[in-house]
Every structure is written in C-alpha cells, then in structure tokens.
C-alpha cells in the first residue's frame, strides 16, 4: 500500500508544438533523471539514436506517433509519465494510454489557447473521467491575456479553470508567478538555453512592489478578481474532472515547471483499486494483477520484437514470476520484463500498482488482456473507437503475400488500424479501418519498412460503421452502398457510404441490428 501511495501515473496531452516534448524533458531534469543538464532526450529533430523505421516517419512529419513511458523519482515519489500521440488521428491510441493513467496534464500554447487537437484529445480525457491539470506554456513569448485563455478553457471545454499560479509579467518581461497554494511570489531567473533548473526566489510583497511595481500589483489584482468570482481550487470537483487547476509557465526557460511537478505529486491521486468486469474493485494489496493497454512491435531496430505494456493494478510484480494470462488461461513467464526510458529499455525487477511494465515477446497477449497471480481477476476490455475511414489493402507484390498477411495482423493487434475482412475474400484484400487518415500512413509505412510488404491502398466511400449481427447481414449486404465485414474479434460491422441512408434505414427497418460503437464519442 505504501508503494502504491508513492506512485503518480499520468499522461501529457497537447496539440502538436504546444511543448509536450520540452515539458517532458524538463520534468526529467527536475526529477534528476538527466543529471543536471537538459538536452539529451530531445525528440523529433534531435538525437533519438535508436529510432525505428516509423520514427523516421514521425521525423518527416514532425509529429509524435509513438507513445513511450518514462519513470523517474521526484521528492519521495515515483512518477510514471505516459506520453500520448499529439495528433487527433491517433486519439484511439491516446484513449488506450489514458486507460493506464490516473490523471492528465493538458499543455496549451499561451498564444493559441485551445486548438482543435487539444479539443479532441480532451474529449477522450473526459470520456475516461480523469482529473486534468492545465499548463499554459510559452509564457516567455507574446501570448493571449491570461483571462482570455481561462475563458477559452471554460467555453470550449466546459471545464472550470481554477488558477493555482498566476503570471507576473509576460513575454520578455515574464518575471515569475504568484503561487496560489502558498501565497508566495516566486521569481525566476533564466539560465543559459534553459539547460539547468531556473533559480527561484521567494519575494516578499513589499519588495515585490518595490522591484516589480505595476506588474506585481496587476497580477495580484487579477487573481483577487478571480477569487471574487469563485474560481478557487476545489479538490472534489478537480478529481471529478469538472474543474482544472491552471499553471502558467515556460517549459523552455523552466519557469513554473517545478510548481507543476509539485502539483502532480500533491494533487493528482495515487493508484486506486481498479474495477473488474463485474464492477468489483480489485484491492491494491491483493496479489499481482495488471492489464495490457498497449502492444508494439519493432520499437527499436536493434530488437525486432513485440512488447506488450501493462499497468500493475494490484500487488507486487517481480520479474521472472509466472502469471496467468486470463484471456487464454495459459501461464506466462515474465523473464523479459523491462521499463522504457524513451526508446531505451532497462530490465525491471519489480513493480507496484501504478507502474508500467513492458513484456517482450509475450506473443499471445493482446490489448485489454488481464494478467494475474494467485487470485483470479478479469478487467474489462478497452473498447474500440468507431472508425470513419476505410481503405482496401492489397499487396503490390504477390510473392510477398505471407509478409503482408503477418504485417496486417500485427498492426491489427497493436490497434494501429482495425482490420475488417470479407468472409468470402479473407486475407487477400482486407479493409483497413481508421479513426483518422494518418493511421493509414503509419500502416503503409510500417508494412513496407518493417514487414517487407509494399501495399497499395484504395480508399472506399464508406464513412460510418455500426455493429450488426448474422441475422441482419444478408438483408444489409443486398443493399447498395452497404457492406458487412468481420473484425478480427469476430464482431460484424456494417459499413455505410451515407450517414443519411443509415438514419433512414434505422427509422424504416427496426428489425435490423445497427448499434452504435460505444467508445470515443468521436
Ligand atoms: P510538442 O512536443 O508538443 O510538439 O512540442 P515541442 O516540445 O517540440 O515544442 C515545439 C516548439 O516550441 C519547439 O521549438 C520548442 O523549443 C518550443 N517551445 C516549447 N516550450 C516553449 C516555451 O516555453 N517557450 C518558447 N518560447 N518556446 C517553447 P522548435 O523551434 O520547433 O524546435 P527547437 O528547434 O527549438 O527544438
């Protein structure tokens, strides 16, 4: 219980370029995981040395597709930081990652406020009902007014912002923040390239007025105004995902990074018992259990293998222990357990609730599966999103059909795309289904580069999918602009070219099963 209590497991969500990579790196700096200088784990344009093929794709596109997990100590706590893809097309992946997180930090660019991708990713957070801290980044640059940003959060996300820090000055003149939790004015000093922690000084009000004059008084006034309208931090509504504590800062210069990390430790919840598929909570001190939220092959060229990531939900995990894989009923050895540090991996010997473990070559393990020891448990599956884009995949080179089939099934297991098959045609020309079209780019790139199977995709006109059954299948298939295909879990999906036609059909033929796919609301 004490080990669980020390854990904080959270994810960062943000629109591309808002500063997620920079903030992650600065968290590591403050956690002491980089020594004393930042700059060594810079992603994207920097020097990720062991990049896999599709990380090259990330580099070309300047976006983050992979999500990694980082663990580092901070104060007397252990922080597990889950990275999420920064693009809406990968919101299903984000959804799965959030299934393993207890909280999220939403990073906004101070000059832009809420951007479209933030909105989508935020909806995914809301679906999962996790508490969200907001970091308004890049305050060292010309920005919107603080109140404007708060207004944006309130209007666009229907989330009440409760500032826990307030900026004194802005852009070049960004001096520090009022720390709402202590009442202090914390003044920062820039360091060269932000490579080391920003020195902080607590300045008494009298000296602050003397040295910062109007900037300080303005900040105090603004904050007073907010308190007067009741935007004060409230634990209950924060934990319920109704309010969001807001922090101002600059990841580049490290201003406000420590305050944010302190808030993660002090405000976000430690792991709590996870409910099983019958809604019974699994006690944290029950024997080991975990659930798989991510599967990824070929993360690293040096290790062409498949890793299943699980979150520990109860008990202690020890490397080498034999656990039961609930979904196949088979025992599973855990000799090759590791923790990830960016793209590097380190062997991991033990883990506690809230921790993330990567298991190499656990080949039968799928997303949503449960692992346990001694005391049986099954956690609910992670629901799939409703796809909105559908493309037929064919191999360009028939002599590579085996590679094509293996590659497609691996991508299916990872949830890179959903794979739908016509029962009569089978694996020859499966339909790849995606929430966003960029998933197709990743699939094509990986099939060619990792599996040696160049493919040709032809887009279809289908735009909406519904769950159906055997009884409805024949009637649906006889219609124009409709097809019924099977997902690899056996579920039948009816695809429609026209949402209007679908609506009409639902009205006219109530005998047909045409259920909405539940998750994601996207
Ligand atoms: P992302 O992971 O969310 O996509 O964003 P990332 O951290 O890569 O940041 C995007 C750009 O914004 C980077 O600049 C980064 O240096 C800059 N940035 C991040 N935080 C701050 C901040 O607090 N203040 C300012 N002024 N800039 C910030 P770039 O030019 O694209 O890359 P680089 O060449 O500087 O690495």
- Return the half-sphere exposure (C-beta side, CA atoms, 13 A cut-off) of residue 325: 19
- E strand spans, 425-468: 431-434, 455-459, 464-468
Cα 215 to ligand 1 centroid, rounded to whole Å:
26
Mean of per-residue pLDDT scores for the chain: 87
Query: Could you tell me the domains of the chain?
Result: 10-267 (3.40.50.300), 274-372 (3.40.50.300), 389-508 (3.30.70.3280)
| 24-to-33, 82, 102, 215, 382 alpha-carbon distances in Å | 11, 10, 17, 29, 26
Of how many residues is the chain composed?
Answer: 522
The band of 301, judged by pLDDT with boundaries at 50, 70 and 90, is low
Contact partners, residue 108, CB within 8 Å, separation at least 6: 14, 15, 18, 114, 115, 118, 134, 135, 136, 137, 149, 153
- What is the spatial distance between Cα 323 and Cα 315, in angstroms, rounded to a whole number? 12
Residues 314 and 285 sit within 8 Å (Cβ to Cβ): yes
- What is the spatial distance between Cα 282 and Cα 272, in angstroms, rounded to a whole number? 9
Instruction: Answer yes or no: is pLDDT of 522 > 80.
Output: no
Would you state the structure tokens that stand for residue 465, as one six-digit string? 């999918």
Q: Ligand 1 within 6 A of 140 CB?
A: yes
pLDDT digits (tens, 9 = 90+) for 379-405: 998 888 888 899 999 999 999 999 999
Atom 24 (ligand 1): residue with closest C-alpha?
138
Residues 48 and 342 sit within 8 Å (Cβ to Cβ): yes
- What is the spatial distance between Cα 285 and Cα 4, in angstroms, rounded to a whole number? 9
Atom 33 (ligand 1): residue with closest C-alpha?
45
Choose one of 11, 15, 16, 17 to mutate for the ligand 1 pocket test, by most ligand atoms within 8 angstroms of C-beta.
17
Q: Ligand 1 within 6 A of 86 CB?
A: yes
| 393-to-54, 251, 401, 486 alpha-carbon distances in Å | 19, 42, 12, 15
**What pTM was estimated for this model as a whole?**
0.86
- Residue scoring higher pLDDT (49 or 67): 67
pLDDT at residue 199, rounded to an integer: 92
pLDDT digits (tens, 9 = 90+) for 111-136: 999 988 788 788 888 877 899 999 99
pLDDT at residue 53, rounded to an integer: 42
Residues 384 and 418 sit within 8 Å (Cβ to Cβ): yes
**Ligand 1 atom with minimal separation from the 42 CA:** 36
**Ligand 1 atom with minimal separation from the 249 CA:** 23
Q: Ligand 1 within 6 A of 18 CB?
A: yes
| Nearest alpha-carbon partner for 302 in 120, 46, 513, 55 | 55
Contact partners, residue 192, CB within 8 Å, separation at least 6: none
Q: Ligand 1 within 6 A of 14 CB?
A: yes
Residues 354 and 372 sit within 8 Å (Cβ to Cβ): no
Instruction: Answer yes or no: is pLDDT of 413 > 70.
Output: yes
- What is the spatial distance between Cα 353 and Cα 118, in angstroms, rounded to a whole number? 29
- E strand spans, 96-159: 103-109, 132-137
pLDDT digits (tens, 9 = 90+) for 135-189: 999 999 999 999 999 999 999 998 999 999 999 999 999 999 999 989 899 999 9
- What is the spatial distance between Cα 302 and Cα 442, in angstroms, rounded to a whole number? 20
Residues 166 and 159 sit within 8 Å (Cβ to Cβ): no
- What is the spatial distance between Cα 415 and Cα 368, in angstroms, rounded to a whole number? 11
Instruction: Answer yes or no: is pLDDT of 65 > 50.
Output: no
Burial of 280 from C-beta contacts in 10 A (0-12 / 13-18 / 19+): exposed
The arithmetic mean of pLDDT across residues 54-80, rounded, is 68
Backbone angles phi, psi at 132, to 5 degrees: -125, 130
Choose one of 18, 22, 38 to mutate for the ligand 1 pocket test, by most ligand atoms within 8 angstroms of C-beta.
22
* Range in 24-28, 327-331, 452-456 with the lowest mean pLDDT: 24-28
| 115-to-13, 17, 216, 422, 522 alpha-carbon distances in Å | 12, 11, 30, 39, 16
């Amino acid at each position: 219980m004490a080990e669980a209590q020390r854990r904080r497991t959270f994810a960062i969500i943000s629109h591309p370029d808002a500063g997620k990579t920079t903030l992650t790196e600065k968290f590591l700096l403050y956690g002491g995981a980089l020594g004393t200088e930042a700059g060594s784990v810079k992603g994207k344009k920097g020097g990720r040395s062991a990049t896999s093929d599709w990380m090259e794709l990330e580099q070309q596109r300047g976006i983050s597709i992979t999500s990694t997990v980082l663990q580092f100590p901070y104060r007397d706590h252990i922080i597990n930081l889950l990275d999420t893809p920064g693009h809406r097309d990968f919101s299903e992946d984000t959804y799965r990652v959030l299934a393993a997180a207890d909280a999220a930090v939403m990073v906004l660019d101070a000059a832009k406020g809420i951007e479209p991708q933030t909105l989508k990713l935020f909806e995914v957070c809301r679906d999962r009902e996790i508490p969200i801290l907001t970091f308004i980044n890049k305050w060292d640059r010309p920005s919107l007014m603080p109140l404007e940003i708060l207004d944006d959060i309130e209007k666009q996300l229907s989330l009440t912002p409760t500032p826990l820090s307030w900026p004194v000055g802005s852009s070049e003149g960004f001096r520090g923040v009022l720390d709402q939790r202590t009442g202090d004015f914390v003044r920062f000093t820039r360091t060269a390239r932000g490579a080391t922690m920003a020195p902080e000084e607590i300045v008494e009000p009298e000296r602050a007025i003397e040295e910062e004059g109007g900037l300080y008084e303005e900040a105090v006034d603004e904050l007073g105004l907010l308190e007067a309208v009741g935007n004060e931090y409230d634990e209950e509504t924060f934990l319920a995902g109704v309010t969001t504590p807001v922090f101002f800062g600059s990841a580049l210069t490290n201003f406000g990074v420590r305050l944010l990390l302190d808030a993660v430790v002090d405000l976000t919840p430690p792991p709590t018992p996870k409910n099983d598929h019958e809604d019974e909570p699994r006690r944290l001190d029950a024997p080991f259990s975990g659930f798989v939220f991510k599967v990824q092959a070929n993360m690293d060229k040096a290790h062409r293998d498949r890793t299943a990531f699980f979150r520990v939900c109860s008990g202690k995990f020890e490397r080498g222990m034999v656990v039961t894989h609930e979904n196949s009923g088979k025992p599973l050895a855990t000799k090759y357990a590791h923790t990830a540090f960016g793209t590097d991996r380190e062997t991991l010997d033990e883990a506690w609730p809230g921790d993330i473990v990567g298991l190499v070559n656990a080949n039968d393990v799928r997303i949503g599966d449960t692992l346990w020891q001694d005391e049986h448990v099954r956690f609910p599956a992670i629901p799939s999103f409703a796809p909105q884009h559908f493309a037929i995949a064919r191999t360009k080179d028939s002599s590579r059909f085996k590679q094509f089939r293996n590659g497609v099934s691996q991508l299916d297991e990872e949830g890179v795309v959903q794979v739908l098959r016509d029962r009569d045609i089978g694996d020859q020309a499966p339909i790849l289904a995606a929430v966003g079209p960029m998933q197709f780019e990743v699939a094509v790139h990986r099939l060619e580069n990792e599996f040696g199977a160049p493919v040709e995709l032809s887009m279809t006109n289908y735009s909406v999918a519904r769950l159906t059954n055997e009884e409805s299948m024949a009637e649906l298939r006889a219609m124009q602009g409709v097809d019924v295909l099977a997902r690899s879990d056996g579920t039948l999906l009816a695809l429609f070219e026209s949402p209007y036609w679908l609506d009409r059909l639902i009205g006219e033929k109530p005998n047909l099963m045409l259920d909405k796919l539940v998750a994601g609301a996207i």
